[in-house]
Amino acid sequence: MFLPTPEDMKKRRINLNLTQNELAHLAGVSQPLITRIESGDVDPKLSTLSKIFDAFETAEKKRVLAENIMHSPVIHTNPGSSVEQAVEIMEREGFSQMPVIEKGIPVGSISSDTVVRFMTQSDTDKLSLMQVKEIMGSSFTVVSKDTDVSTISHLLEQSPAVLVVDWGRVVGVVTQHDIMKLLHKK
């Protein structure tokens, strides 16, 4: 019979992004007891362990992952496309930015801010013929399909979008709008 070690329990709590206080609340036990269990200072009763593992299962069921909220397929442009083609896609889709992807791999991004900045620096006709790779910025942040929504929310504070990858290939995208839509699902 396999019994988890205090370290196993702590890892599981952390992987679920739960504080000791949140786990204690879910399990109906005290936070100091969780601390003592995780540090190995106390051997909990079977009924206490059962409550804690029920709380873990409840938290796992509520956990929202990137694959549950991402948009797929990802509307993007290629580095070899013209800036004019990229702008047409952004206008058609109502996007202010868009990933640049080559053979499924993110290589950069393009935004309306970048296009406008280059328009003030060069001839508009010349710019429309330039390739995206000549003006693109850095790629959006990348996460795996099993990244939780809490982590994604923090990443979206620094980036307009987060790309979801599986086996090194882009399979989806998550934006702040996708996170906000979760409010309606509760």
Distances (CA, A) of 73 to 108, 156, 161: 17, 20, 14
Q: How far apart are CA 20 and CA 167, in angstroms?
A: 33
Tens digit of each residue's pLDDT, the chain (186 residues): 567 889 999 999 988 888 999 999 999 999 999 999 999 999 999 899 999 999 998 887 777 889 989 999 999 999 999 999 999 999 999 999 999 999 999 999 999 999 999 888 777 778 888 999 999 999 999 999 999 888 899 999 999 899 999 999 999 999 988 888 876 654
48 CB-near residues (< 8 Å, 6+ apart): 27, 29, 33, 37
CA-based max dimension of the chain: 75
What domains, with CATH codes, occur in the chain?
Answer: 6-62 (1.10.260.40), 67-185 (3.10.580.10)
**Contact yes or no for 77/140 (Cβ under 8 A):** no
Q: 69 — phi, psi (to 5°)?
A: -125, -5
Is the pTM here over 0.75, yes or no? no
